[in-house]
Amino acid sequence: MTTSPVQANRLQIEIAPRTLGLVLAAIVGIWMLGRLAGVVEVVVVALVLVGTFDPGVAWCERRGLRRGRALVLVFGLGVVGFVAFVLLMVPPLIEQLLRMVETAPATRTQLVHDLRAYPWAKPLVGAIKDLPLDSLAARAGAAMLGYSTTLFEAIGYGISTMVLAIYLLADPAHAKGLVYSVVPRHHHIKLARILFGLRVIVGGYIRGQLITSAAITVFVFALLTIVGADNAIPIALFAGMTDILPFVGGYIASAPVILAVTPHGGSVVVIVAVVMLLYQEFESRILVPRVYGHVLRMSPAVVLVALLVGGTLAGIVGALLALPIAAGLQMVVHELRVDLPGDMPTTDATHLLDERANMVYEHLSETATTAAAGVIADDIATMVKRTENADE
């Protein structure tokens, strides 16, 4: 019996049930991640808060305070500082905003009169004349009413995030035990190394954010002081707060700065606007890549790409969390000993060190509970990391 040419050239594709199950599980996981995006954001921000406050709590513990009292002290100081920051910043800004709404038509007339003396400002004069400032107060009130629901949602998410962060800090051993309980024990050292790396990344991210926020705060305060504008301190604090928003934060901060110098004439307004624009270019293209690239061990190009991708996928929150997430993914790939194209291959000495660490851990944690095993894994991972850093 002969086989026909059609049957001989037939291509048969078979998909294993396990592969099909993995594909379906991945699809369901992506769908659930999209549906639970708000919950994921709360968890990620809570972990960032844990990384922010944990050094302070640990410092208080080393000074003899119990963890509960240290936690209350650190969070209490944080709340008091935040309230003082808001009281120092918000009332002057609201007063300035109300005054701006009342005097907007007169300010527009004066600004147009001043700019008419410059031929290059003719397009700008036309744009200023077309601004609908007569109904500014009514539209501002309607906008604030529309944002009230979003504000209450943000407050609810903020409270949930704070409660979760306090829970994780109050009993870190139990929280880590829950994580270790869902991971096979022979992977605990890798998990401990990843958690250790995440703490370093969060600390570096917070330090980098403090540097950039402090830089724009000092810059805005100096600029307004030189010009002689009112409310230099609250406006500078507002600039430092909004600077945590990548890309748009600096431009939001520029608005009250420019409005504060409008009484000093059109030429001063133009100069201040140009100076603020130049500072935003300096921060986004030089300061941010260098600061975050150093503390997160990411190249300036990777920093910029991560910010763009995060902002495109998840808006402001995505851009805000893009850097620690990108650095975390890079760290996870490194800790899992995955050799990417262009990287130096993992050496035999590194594999040998990992094997010895796993052997020691399995011996010490043989009869330990999950929480105690997590503590042992943390200690061994810390020693291994110190050994690797000493060899570099």
Q: Check if the beta carbon of residue 369 is closer than 8 Å to that of residue 177.
A: yes
Q: Check if the beta carbon of residue 240 is closer than 8 Å to that of residue 232.
A: no
Q: The whole model's pTM is what?
A: 0.66
Q: Which helix (H) or strand (E) is 149 found in, with range?
A: helix 136-170
* pLDDT at position 392 over 70: no
More confident of the two residues 11 and 154: 154
* pLDDT at position 218 over 80: yes
Q: How far apart are CA 140 and CA 136, in angstroms?
A: 6
* pLDDT at position 5 over 60: no
pLDDT tens digits for range 292-318:
766 676 666 677 777 777 777 766 667
Q: How far apart are CA 34 and CA 331, in angstroms?
A: 24
pLDDT tens digits for range 66-91:
888 888 888 888 888 888 888 888 78
Q: In this predicted structure, what is the pLDDT of residue 222?
A: 92
Nearest to 71 by CA among 156, 167, 201, 161: 167
pLDDT tens digits for range 10-66:
655 556 666 667 677 777 777 776 666 667 777 777 877 887 788 888 888 888 888
- Specify burial of residue 155 (Cβ count, 10 A radius: 0-12, 13-18, 19+): exposed
What is the residue-averaged pLDDT of the chain?
A: 75
pLDDT bin (cut points 50, 70, 90) of residue 219 is very high
The tokens of 329 are what? 């993914």
Q: How far apart are CA 167 and CA 207, in angstroms?
A: 24
Type of residue found at 185: R
Q: Which of 153-162, 215-224, 257-266, 316-325 has the highest mean pLDDT?
A: 215-224
pLDDT bin (cut points 50, 70, 90) of residue 168 is confident
pLDDT tens digits for range 105-136:
677 777 777 777 677 666 776 776 666 655 55
Q: In this predicted structure, what is the pLDDT of residue 14?
A: 58
Q: Check if the beta carbon of residue 93 is closer than 8 Å to that of residue 256.
A: yes
Q: How far apart are CA 85 and CA 78, in angstroms?
A: 10
Q: What is the DSSP letter of 246?
A: T
Q: How far apart are CA 324 and CA 244, in angstroms?
A: 13
Q: What is the mean pLDDT of residues 223-249?
A: 83
pLDDT bin (cut points 50, 70, 90) of residue 143 is low
Crossing angle of helices 188-227 and 37-62, in 10° steps, is 90
* pLDDT at position 343 over 70: no
Q: In this predicted structure, what is the pLDDT of residue 281?
A: 83
The tokens of 89 are what? 């910043």
* pLDDT at position 178 over 70: yes
Q: Which helix (H) or strand (E) is 52 found in, with range?
A: helix 37-62
The angle subtended at Cα 219 by Cα 214 and Cα 222, nearest 5°, is 125
Q: In this predicted structure, what is the pLDDT of residue 284?
A: 77
* pLDDT at position 385 over 60: yes
Nearest to 353 by CA among 380, 331, 372, 377: 380
**Residue 121: which residues within 8 A CB-CB, separation 6 or more?**
115, 266, 270
Q: In this predicted structure, what is the pLDDT of residue 181?
A: 77
